[in-house]
Amino acid sequence: MRKNIFAAALMLLVQLSYAQDAADSAPLFIDSLEASLHYQEGEIKLDNNIGTLQTPAGFRYLDAKQTTYVLQDLWGNPDGSGTLGMIVPKNTGLLADNSWAFIITYDEMGYVKDDDADEIDYDELMGEMQGDTKQENEERTKGGFEPIELVGWASKPFYDKDKKVLHWAKEIKFGESDFNTLNYNVRILGRKGVVVFNAVSSMNELPEVQKNITPVLSSFSYADGYRYSDFNPEIDEVAAWTIGGLVAGKILAKAGLFAFLLKYIKIIGMAIAALGGAIWRWYKRKTALPTVRNISDAPNA
């Protein structure tokens, strides 16, 4: 009995020691994960042939499969499926403190009419969304999630009628977080739906995101038959959403805000888990022996 207690206590000491080693070695672990990603540059034909992406200068593209891996396994997003990939600044890793990226998706919601674009009072709309968010927080807390505060516009909605592009940015606070999160949305209207570029970052990165909106928008072009001007009222479906409806949509997109907020905790946890497997295998071998001698028996991980 005493031997088992001693072995358990020793195991706890080893775990604490290795957990500290994991935290200390997290930068190397992050570098290793970054190196495992395969980026592309140049012309990219997006899945389902809706259009083409010409990666902007200073950016690189990560395909849909790897984007799902980043969103779910690295950033801790509950569901990262259904994207068309992401474009990432070359000078910033996906796990760096100042990291950000544009996540690309396509919503085949139909042809979005833009008749209401000039009639929307966006301050009034923000007030309505803030009220809706407070109501939704009751269900969020019941589900074990932090409440959300919709602080306000980080950048007021703007619709470019000529280019058929809508963009806006919201500032959002999660629970008692010390920093606020930026959710910058861009919608490129098409014949059968909208292409979505969603930038998720801290508020500190807003100037950097804004600076790159124009080159990012210019990088995408719809394929023939998918452009807004290709709409045929006789055969095409009209979306239930209008410009105002797009802006007032749910705060948390599918590939949205949880990702950015959880990634740092998750990545350190993965490093500890990687070492933890070695610790457990070592412990099983050692406890099978008559005695456990001293901590120097532990192998280097």
Which tens digit of pLDDT belongs to each residue from 175-190?
A: 887 778 888 889 999 9
Query: Do 52 and 221 contact (CB within 8 A), yes or no?
Result: yes
Look at residue 200 in the predicted model and tell me its pLDDT: 75
pLDDT tens digits, residue range 187-215? 999 999 999 998 877 788 888 888 888 88
Instruction: Determine the Cα–Cα distance for residues 68 and 62; give it in Å rounded to an integer.
Output: 10
The token duo for 125 is: 């709309």
Q: Identify the architecture of domain 39-255 in CATH.
A: Sandwich (2.60)
282-300 residue pLDDT tens: 333 333 333 332 222 322 3
Over the stretch 109-137, which tens digit does the pLDDT of each residue have?
999 999 888 888 899 989 988 988 888 88
Give the chain's end-to-end CA distance (angstroms, integer).
Answer: 29
Residues of the chain with pLDDT under 50: 2-10, 12-16, 18-19, 21-23, 25, 251-301
Contact 217, 41 (CB under 8 A): no
Cβ-contact 56, 102 below 8 angstroms = no
What are the backbone dihedrals phi and psi of residue 61, each rounded to the nearest 5 degrees, phi first?
-110, 140
Closest CA to 162 of 100, 107, 228, 108: 228
Backbone angles phi, psi at 167, to 5 degrees: -145, 150
**One-letter amino acid identity for 16?**
L
Write down the mean pLDDT value for the chain: 74
Pick from 85, 33, 82, 81: which is nearest to 59 by CA?
A: 85
Provide the H-helix boundaries in the chain.
2-35, 64-69, 122-142, 206-211, 213-218, 243-247, 257-287
- In whole angstroms, give the CA distance from residue 10 to residue 4: 10
Hey, where are the domains in the chain? Answer: 2-32+265-297, 39-255
Neighbours of 274 (CB within 10 A): 14
Amino acid at 209: V
